[in-house]
Amino acid sequence: MKSKTPSAEELIESLKESKSLERLLIDNADEALFFYSLEGVLIYVNPAFEKITGYTTQELYEKIFIPYVHPDDQEWTKKLWDGLFDGAFFEDVEYRIVKKSGEIRWCMSSWKIVCDRDGNKIGIQGKQQDITKRKLIEEELVLAKTIAEEMSKKDELTGLNNRREFFDQGKRIFKQAIRFDHSLSVMIMDIDHFKNINDKYGHAMGDKALKLIAQVLQRMMREIDIVARIGGEEFAFLLPETTLDKATNLAERLRLEIQNATLVEEEEPFQLTVSFGICSCPVNNETLETMLSKADKALYVAKNNGRNQIKTC
């Protein structure tokens, strides 16, 4: 006679009575479950722990916790472990482990002291999840955000600071110069006859000219200087700890360097020239905007006097 197949309810009741249900749930859990002695020796792990670490049950048993943790994370996780005995929490802590294969994985763990019925500490119970995918996504998002923030500060064509970034950084540096009575210079540079370049050779050549000038500026300027493209063919400079004489000398070196750079269009070489207006030594109640306005007036004089020259205010 064929035996009767037990119903789902009957099977569950049977599992409950035999404790097999708990074993089934533990063995099929996605997160690692484990139990350590008070000395840190591993006494029990479920199959998920083997999957996360790459070690078999036999390799894991009676091994201490710390060696599986990434060397850079061992010191502080050991302090957390020790803190458990003083009543501290070890909950949702993220650290790296090194799998048997050598692969590094991110894990999130929670730990707690287990006591018997009399309140005596008998071991440490824990759970652990592999969160590597989540950490990679987080890192990608952080990187994307950083790139986006950096791109928002740059002029797309030249890679120099844009107008907004120039004023954001410039106002901070300007205030410091005023406060500590430090020398500071502001310059504005304009490409001479830039419209003629676009009209004669096309906007692609105009873009090429702007990129060439940006390369010269990036090569010759100091790290502390703030350089930006603030208009079509207009560039602004903020030079901390720079007197008028030093700013004028820098402008002359830049003028000559740009003048000696050659662009070629259909085998026809041509030179670029630039003009400068410079303002130095801020005084009380002056602003970055007013200094730029003075430098711009000096630039206007340079352009009206024939271009390819430097004027100071």
Structure tokens at 189: 């540079």
Residue appearing with tokens 């996780």: 77
Residue appearing with tokens 């991110």: 106
Q: How far is CA 158 from CA 143, 256, 276, in A?
A: 22, 20, 19
d(CA 217, CA 111): 57
Give catalytic status of residue 140 as yes or no.
no
d(CA 309, CA 281): 21
SS (H, E, C) the chain: CCCCCCCHHHHHHHHHHHCHHHHHHHHCCCCEEEEECCCCEEEEECHHHHHHHCCCHHHHCCCECHHHECHHHHHHHHHHHHHHCCCCCEEEEEEEEECCCCCEEEEEEEEEEEECCCCCEEEEEEEEEECHHHHHHHHHHHHHHHHHHHHCCECCCCCCECHHHHHHHHHHHHHHHHHHCCCEEEEEEEECCHHHHHHHHCHHHHHHHHHHHHHHHHHHCCCCCEEEECCCCEEEEEEECCCHHHHHHHHHHHHHHHHHCEEEECCEEEECCEEEEEEECCCCCCCHHHHHHHHHHHHHHHHHCCCCCEEEC
Give the active site residue among 165, 233, 234, 289.
233
Q: Give residue 308's identity as a one-letter amino acid code.
A: N
Q: Taking a C-beta distance cutoff of 8 angstroms, is the pair 141, 134 a contact?
A: no
Annotated catalytic residues are 233
